[in-house]
Chains A and B, each alone.
Chain A
Amino acid sequence: DAGVTQSPTHLIKTRGQHVTLRCSPISGHKSVSWYQQVLGQGPQFIFQYYEKEERGRGNFPDRFSARQFPNYSSELNVNALLLGDSALYLCASSLAAGLVEAFFGQGTRLTVV
C-alpha cells in the first residue's frame, strides 16, 4: 500500500506569489494534518482536517488556508508568500481524528526568493 504522498517535492516561488501544496493520505485514513518545519526546528501545526471539516488550526496568518476533498486528499494554499514561508511542509494522515498514530509524507520543500 502507498504511504502518504505529497506533491510537488520541491518548489521555488517569488515573494507575493501564491502556492498550492497537495497531499494524498494513506488509503482508509480520513484525517489529514499540515505542518510547517523551518530549518533547524521541529514541525509546527498548521491545520487538521477530518471528514472534510477543519478540526483545528495553528497560530498561522489567514494567508494560509486548506481544504479536504471527498476522497480525503487535501490542499494547503498560501497566499502573498513571504521569505519566511520558506520551509518544509509536511502532511500527516491518521485513521481518525484522534491521534494514536500519524504517518507523514516526504514533504514539500518550498523556497521563497
Chain B
Amino acid sequence: AQKITQTQPGMFVQEKEAVTLDCTYDTSDPSYGLFWYKQPSSGEMIFLIYQGSYDQQNATEGRYSLNFQKARKSANLVISASQLGDSAMYFCAMRDVTGGGNKLTFGTGTQLKVEL
C-alpha cells in the first residue's frame, strides 16, 4: 500500500530564512507523482508543486523547490525566504492508483509557523 510519512508535526522558522519540510513515501509502483499542498486556516488546499517519478530535475515553483531523492524515497519541500504568509499546514501527497481511480494519499501534515 502507498504511504506518506511526515515526521514533523510542527516547525518554526524566522522570516526571510529557508525551511525544509520532510516527506518520505513508500510505493511499489515505478511510476508515481508527488505533490505538496498548503492549507491555511481557511481550509482551502493550495497546490504548490509536483514531482513526477521520472522527472530528471527537481521541481521548482518560485520560492518552492522539491528536494527529490528517489533512492531514499524522500521528497522534501524547501521554502526559501520565508514570509509571514507562509504560516500554514503543509501536506505531502502521492498519486495512488491502487483500488481503481486516481487519488491522492496524504501525510499527516506539518504546521509551519513563520516568526518575525
Chain A residues with CB under 8 Å of chain B are 31, 33, 35, 41-45, 47-48, 54-58, 88, 90, 92, 94, 97-107, 109
Interface residue? B108 (CB, 8 A): yes
Q: Which residues of A contact B101 (CB under 8 A)?
A: 33, 47-48, 54-57, 97
Q: A56-B100, A99-B95, A100-B50 are in contact. Are A107 and B43 (CB under 8 A)?
A: yes
Contact B102 A55, beta carbon cutoff 8 Å: yes
Min C-beta distance of B39 to chain A, whole Å: 9
The 9 closest A-B pairs by CB, nearest first: A56-B101, A42-B106, A104-B45, A48-B101, A55-B101, A45-B103, A106-B44, A56-B100, A107-B43
Q: Is the interface of B mostly helix, strand, loop or mixed?
A: strand
Contact B35 A42, beta carbon cutoff 8 Å: no
Q: Is the interface of A mostly helix, strand, loop or mixed?
A: strand
> In whole angstroms, what is the CA distance A103 to B44 when docked?
10
Chain B residues with CB under 8 Å of chain A are 4, 33, 35, 37, 42-47, 50, 52, 91, 93, 95-96, 99-109
Q: Which residues of B contact A100 (CB under 8 A)?
A: 33, 50, 52
Q: Which residues of B contact A54 (CB under 8 A)?
A: 101
Which of the residues A55, A88, A98, A102 comes within 8 Å of B35, measured between beta carbons? A102
Q: List 12 A-B contacts (CB under 8 A).
A: A35-B104, A42-B4, A43-B45, A45-B96, A45-B104, A47-B101, A54-B101, A57-B99, A98-B102, A99-B103, A104-B37, A109-B43
Q: Which residues of B contact A109 (CB under 8 A)?
A: 43
Min C-beta distance of A60 to chain B, whole Å: 12
Q: A42-B108, A99-B33 are in contact. Are A58 and B44 (CB under 8 A)?
A: no
Min C-beta distance of B42 to chain A, whole Å: 7
